[in-house]
Structure formats: structure tokens, C-alpha cells
Amino acid sequence: MKIKKPTIIVDEERVRKNVERMAKKAQKSGLRFRPHFKTHQSADIGEIFKEFGISVIAASSIDMAAYFAKHDWKDITVAIPVNIRQIDEINELASKISLGLLVESIQSAKFLAENVLSSINVWVEIDTGDRRTGVDWKNTEKIESIATIIKESGNLSLSGILTHAGQSYEKESIEAVKKVHRDSISQMNAVKDYLSSKGFIDIEISIGDTPTCSIMDDFSGVDEIRPGNFVFNDLLQVSIGSCVEEDIAIAVACPVISKHPERNELIIYGGGAHLSRDSLERDGAQFFGLVALPTSMGWTSSMKNACVTKIVQEHGTIQAERDFIDRISPGDLLMILPIHSCLTANLHQTYQTLNGKILKSFHYEIE
Amino acid sequence: MKIKKPTIIVDEERVRKNVERMAKKAQKSGLRFRPHFKTHQSADIGEIFKEFGISVIAASSIDMAAYFAKHDWKDITVAIPVNIRQIDEINELASKISLGLLVESIQSAKFLAENVLSSINVWVEIDTGDRRTGVDWKNTEKIESIATIIKESGNLSLSGILTHAGQSYEKESIEAVKKVHRDSISQMNAVKDYLSSKGFIDIEISIGDTPTCSIMDDFSGVDEIRPGNFVFNDLLQVSIGSCVEEDIAIAVACPVISKHPERNELIIYGGGAHLSRDSLERDGAQFFGLVALPTSMGWTSSMKNACVTKIVQEHGTIQAERDFIDRISPGDLLMILPIHSCLTANLHQTYQTLNGKILKSFHYEIE
């Protein structure tokens, strides 16, 4: 790899394995697999998904959906409560592709019913414990009101109910993640049964976080899964138990610019502007990434007792054992494994593959 | 302001005041003012600095320096230890402008001495307590060795010694920041005296963090200041005492997409991808920004008892008092004041001014 500055490196074979594993799982369970493309945000990486027959996706903004529509994706759900200020862009996009939107307020449902000009699939977002967005699953009255507004409108059609059990990210055991999943599915089915008793038929259930989708095998009562992070994975997913380190498909190659053996530190050119400021804790101490060495095939396993302990805009501080420090000089490259791959990838306009190819992301196209 | 999605808004008049204040202070003290452009990263915002006679700047990467060189800046210091992997780019840039580089290892000094093809100004970076990069100010032997390598090389010329007293960012009182400054200046002058005793003459002293440059009035013993953040300021600078909230010159306009009065929360479309994940603490709780309302002139003061309490990639959660929540609906815009303006600005390719003009940043030009 000829790398001169902080560069996000993607191991396409690991991506392929991660996509294949999830695609097969969905197929085996008879689920629609709608991967969330907010993690990689790249039409070039999207091509790998096509190898596995995937044709429907999720995106996290209207602009990102428009970017993927331009790259020939024809069925996209924007999996965030609709931003009604972008109604013009929504109408434009809906005239070109099969567009799905999320609604979780009566006001936004009414706004869409009045302002949408062509057919749009609507999902009612349900909160099954994440406490971020969505109507509380117990609030069936509000869910029914929103469903009714959608049903009675001309251009909106009710696809079903959708949830993101993001609380799974806060679990650190597989058993706890499984419980999140089971509770969430049971709540979603209770909502579906309620809607069915009120005459809403063919209500689908869509779920979508990487921890539950990676860990679970039983998806009964679910029609669609929308995980995103699994394409790259990261140290957070390793800590939850959704994957092992060898499943992490990206690393940020960073040049060493300074060495301070007297305090067991190396400084890399690579900071919050390249890695993001997400962190995890180990032995009570916060860290921002683990450290591997580049190889001809990608990168090694992470070094024991070495991690990124501090980051500012352009610099990262690595604490490591003295014998590791002694082997490294300014000008050497280190590979940083990310804590949260979505936000790390979001900082880059392009990826470099292990054989030096450049893959473009959404941010490569000017706003 | 016609804003549809998360957009960084810049108040040019506040920028102008912030630049003027620092420029006048530098002029009064007879200092060279070399503002660090890593905060705004924008050639368009750079034009405001030209109104105040500023012609020399700092940047945080060779690429950023090349961008500003293309926009007609002729004297740029890259204020991070030199990344020797970019020697070709360094040589290209040095053939066009007056380029300054930082060196803090014998190895990098030797590498430059052997590989540089045209004249370059070199600063030896000194650590006066930040413990990030730089030679410890007490290690005069190493400082002298580096200075000697530079002096004996053909193309390198020794401009002086440079420090970034970044430890000032961890202080929360003006007195503590003043002590950081005084200690740092006294250490830098001890290094200068030592070098002078060894025959190194005309050694300049360059310092450069916003807290000390904003708070101090006495800069005796200093030749150059390189603050960056002051152009925009942020809540971190307010917490340190370097500025007041009315000096903050950027805010991120974010549409409200969800409302949960039962838990006193609003959800905005605007997350780690737009605000960055920097945080501060208030009453023991972490927060990621304060909340203001848009006005025809910019934005109001921050709302009391309202702040961004959680952020993920695209969503931000705002906790606020019930009467504020009740006034806001999905589709409304809120203005988020940033914790750390450098990393917030780094996430955007363009700024929008209060009268709707678009200012381009470094990230607007493809990597």
C-alpha cells in the first residue's frame, strides 16, 4: 500500500464475507434484506451487495437516498423520521424510485398526506425501548391515528411498522442482546395484531440493528431486516459480541509523526478529523481505537497493550509497551481499528482497497 | 434563512469582530499574527482575514496548505510535526510559496536535510507541558542537535522555536490559563537563551493556542502567535473564559424531526455527522451543544435548561423544559451552538452566511 496520509483502507474480501453471511441468514429465514447504506455511504461498495442479489436498501437522509438512486438503486427507505422541510426533494425522488419514509408524528403524517405528489411507502416508526424516535409501542391510539391518516391519503400507502432496537448497542452480553430482540419482536407483533383488529391488513414488520441481526438466528414474526454496521463491523460490535476482530473490514492507515519512548507514546497524523471521537472503555480507561501493523494482505491483529488514548483534530496519541514503541519510527504507518465504523467512514470521501483501488463515497459528490 | 437540512451557518460580522480583536492585539504587541486556518478551512473565510492585513497563516496538513496556496496565500506554516511520507508534496509546495515546517525528532530533521529540494523554514517544536508533540524544553541537548542538523543543511533555515500550550484547554479559570502562558513563555525563552549561547541567533518564538492568545495582554518574549479557534469560538472557549457566547460565530441549523413531550425531548436531524461528538459537562452530565432559535439576524442566546444530551450519526436528542418543547413542532429549525467549532466545521463542505451566501471549505475540493 502506497499511503502518504491518513487513509481509510477497506478489505473488500471481509466486506464480501460480512455481506454474504447476513444475506444468507436473511434468505434462510425468508426475510427481505434491506441493508442500511449509511455505514459505507458508497455506490462502489454498494456494488458488492449486488453480487448477493440485494436490490433494496435503506439510507439515512433524503440526499443519501438521492445519491444511491442516481447509482441505480430503485427501492430505498429513508430510515429516519421524515424531514418535512425537504418535501420538494421527497417529491422529486418519489417520482423516480420506490421511496419509503418513516412517520412517527400525526403532524408529519398530515403534512405528507397533503403534500406528497406521487406514491410513497410509509412505515410507522415504533419505539420498542430505544427512547430515541418512534411512537411508544403501547400508544396504540396514536399509532392507529397515524395509520388512518396514511390509509386515507391518496398517495401514501402503509407498508407496515418499523423499529430500531438501538438499546442493543448498550448491552455487553449476547444474552442481553437476545432479550432485547425477543422483547422488541413481541411488542411489534402486539402492535401489528392491534392494527389488524382495526382493519389494517398486510402490515409488515421491519427491524434493524446490527447487534440483534448478527447475533439472532430466529427471526419469526419479522418481515424485513435493515442492519448497516455489519458491512464493516468495528470494536464496538466486537465488545457487544456481534463479531470478532477479524470481521472488521476497515482500518485507518496513519503515518507516525512523533515518538516519545520516555512516556511510552507514539503520535500519529490521524485525529478526530479521520477517526471520529467515538470511544470505548478498557480497564476503566477511555480509548479511541486499537493499533495494528500493515501487511501485504491488509493488517495484523491488534497489538496487545496498545491503543489510541487521546485524539485532537489531526493528532492521535498511542500508548503502547516500550518494545513496540522501539520498533516504530516517524514515517512508519500504523493501522487504527475504529470504535464506530459509521462515523469513521463518514469522515472520508474515498476508500482505498488493499490493491490500491479508490472507491468513492457519498461525500465525494459535492453537497 | 431557507434551510432544509443540517447546515452550518456563519455570522460573518462575528467572524470579522473576532479577527479584528486578535489582529489589533497582535499589532499592539508588535507580534506577527499567523492565524491557524485549520478551524475554518475555507478560502472564502480567509478573505475576511485579508481585510485586516493578514498575509501569513498556519495550516494543519500539507494538503490544507496546498489548498490555501492555490488560493493565493504565500507564506504558510504547517503546524504539526512533519509527515515525511509527503516529501514529494512538500517539495512541490516549497517551490511555490514560503513554506514553514515543524520538526521535533532527529530522524525527521535528517530526512528533511537530505530530501528537501528548495528553501524551507523550519521551526523546532518544543513541549512546554502539553505532552503531545515537541521536544521537552528541558532536553536542550536534543534541541541543539536538531537545530544543528537544520543549520548545516543547504535548503533548511532555522526560523525559531514553536510551542502549542494545549494544556490551556484543560483549565477552567482565567488565572490558570495565565499561569500556563507565563510558564510556557519563560520556558521558551530559556530554550532561546540556550540556543543563543551555542551560536544560534535570530531565533524567533512562536506560540499558539486560543485560550492564552484570547486571555493574555502581555506577550513580551514572543515573536509570533498562531491561534485558530478564536475565529469562530465555541462553548469550550466560553467555559474556559476566552470569550462570551455572543462571540461564537457559527451554529448548526437543524430541523426538528420528532417530539416527545412525555420525556421533555425533541429529536433533531443533526448528529455526529454534523455536530461532531465533542462534549462538555454541566452539573455532572455530558452534553454535545446548546440550543438557540433562529432569528432574522442570526440566532438568539442559548435557551436556559436546554441542551443536546445524546447524539448518534444523524439524530440529536435535545432535553428541554416543557414550555420550550411545547412551542416547537417537527419541521421547525433549531440552532445548535458547538462544543468545539474546529471539529464541527470539519464535517461540512460549505458554510451558509446569514444572507444565504455559500462559502466553500477545503472539503469542498475533492481529495
Per-residue pLDDT tens digits for B287-342: 999 999 999 999 999 999 999 999 999 999 999 999 999 999 999 999 999 999 99
Cell triple for residue B53? 492585513
- Spatial separation of the C-alpha atoms in residues B264 and B243, rounded to whole Å: 30
> CA of A82, closest CA in chain B: separation in Å?
7
Pick B81's closest partner by Cβ from A5, A258, A278: A258
For B14, B80, B109, B221, the CA distances from B143, given in Å and listed in that order, are: 40, 17, 11, 19
User: Rounded to whole angstroms, what are the CA distances from A286 to A78, A258, A283, A309?
Assistant: 33, 22, 8, 7
Which pLDDT tens digit goes with each residue over B218-261? Answer: 999 999 999 999 999 999 999 999 999 999 999 999 999 999 99
A344 Cα to chain B: minimum distance (Å)? 10
Please indicate whether, in this complex, the C-beta atoms of B277 and A273 are within 8 angstroms of each other: no
Supply the mean pLDDT for chain A.
Answer: 96
Is B83 in contact with A257 (Cβ distance < 8 A)?
A: yes
Closest chain B residue by Cα to residue A348 = B367
Chain B residues with CB inside 8 Å of A276's CB? 272, 277
CB distance A4–B38 less than 8 Å?
Answer: no
Enumerate the β-bridge partners of residue B290: B307, B337
Residues with Cβ within 8 Å of A3's Cβ and at least 6 positions away in sequence, in order, are: A9, A253, A255, A333, A352, B85
Task: Decide if A80 and B257 are in contact by the 8 Å CB cutoff.
Answer: yes
pTM (two decimals):
0.96
Average pLDDT in the B155-183 region?
A: 91
| Domain positions in chain B | 12-232, 249-337
What cell numbers appear for B283 in the block? 452539573
Query: Is B259 in contact with B332 (CB distance < 8 Å)?
Result: no
CB–CB contact B83 A5 (8 Å) = yes
CB contact under 8 A, A277 and B343: yes
pLDDT (tens digit, 9 = 90+) per residue, A76-109?
A: 999 999 999 999 999 999 999 999 999 999 999 9
Compare CB distances from A278 to B38, B277, B329 and report the shortest one's residue: B277
Q: Which residues contact A130 (CB under 8 A, 6 or more apart)?
A: A163, A164, A165, A166, A167
User: Are the C-beta atoms of B77 and B58 separated by less than 8 Å?
Assistant: yes
Q: Report the DSSP beta bridge partners of residue A291.
A: A336
- Residues from chain B that touch A277, judged by Cβ atoms under 8 A, are 276-278, 343
- Inter-chain contact A269–B80, Cβ cutoff 8 Å? yes
Cβ of A349 within 8 Å of Cβ of B366? The answer is: yes
d(CA A352, CA B12): 37
Average pLDDT for residues B23-50, to the nearest whole number?
97
Cell (9 digits) for B140: 536542550
Give me the pLDDT at residue A172, please. 76
CA–CA gap between residue A333 and residue A4 (Å, rounded): 9
The average confidence (pLDDT) of chain B is: 96
Cβ pairs A/B, distance under 8 A = 157
Helix (H) or strand (E) holding B150: helix B140-152
Percent of chain B with pLDDT over 70: 99
Distances (CA, A) of B337 to B41, B134, B281: 19, 33, 15
> Does the pLDDT value for residue B105 go beyond 90?
yes
What is the model's pLDDT at position A174? 87
Q: How far is A364 from chain B (nearest CA, A)?
A: 6
> Which residues lie across from A204 on neighbouring strands?
A160
Task: Inspect the interface and report whether the beta carbons of A349 and B364 lie closer than 8 Å.
Answer: no
Query: Inter-chain contact B61–A269, Cβ cutoff 8 Å?
Result: yes
What pLDDT, on the 0 to 100 scale, is given for residue B1?
Answer: 58
Interface test with B, best of A82, A83, A308 (most B CBs within 10 A): A83
Low-confidence ranges of chain A (pLDDT < 50): none
SS3 for B315? strand
A12-232 CATH choice from 3.20.20.140, 3.20.20.10, 3.40.50.300, 3.30.70.3000: 3.20.20.10
Do residue B132 and residue A330 have CB atoms under 8 angstroms apart?
A: no
Q: Are strands B224-225 and B204-207 parallel, antiparallel or unpaired?
A: parallel
Q: Which residue has the higher pLDDT, B173 or B190?
A: B190
Residues of B in contact with A60 (CB under 8 A): 313-314
Q: Report the complex ipTM.
A: 0.95
User: Which positions in chain B touch A314 (Cβ < 8 Å)?
Assistant: 38, 60-61, 80
CATH class of segment(s) A249-337: mainly beta
Q: What pLDDT shows up at residue A281?
A: 93
| Pairwise CA distance, residues B186 & A247, whole Å | 51
Dist CA B56 CA B235 (whole Å): 27
Task: Tell me how many degrees the CA angle A81-A83-A87 measures, rounded to the nearest 5.
Answer: 130
Residues on chain B touching A310 (C-beta within 8 angstroms): 132
Three-point CA angle B72, B78, B79, nearest 5°: 135
- Find out whether A94 and B269 touch, Cβ atoms under 8 Å: no
Chain B residues touching residue A63 (CB < 8 angstroms)? 5
Please choose, from the candidates A255, A242, A172, A182, the residue with its C-alpha nearest in 3D space to the C-alpha of residue A213. Answer: A242
Cβ atoms < 10 Å from Cβ of B49: 22
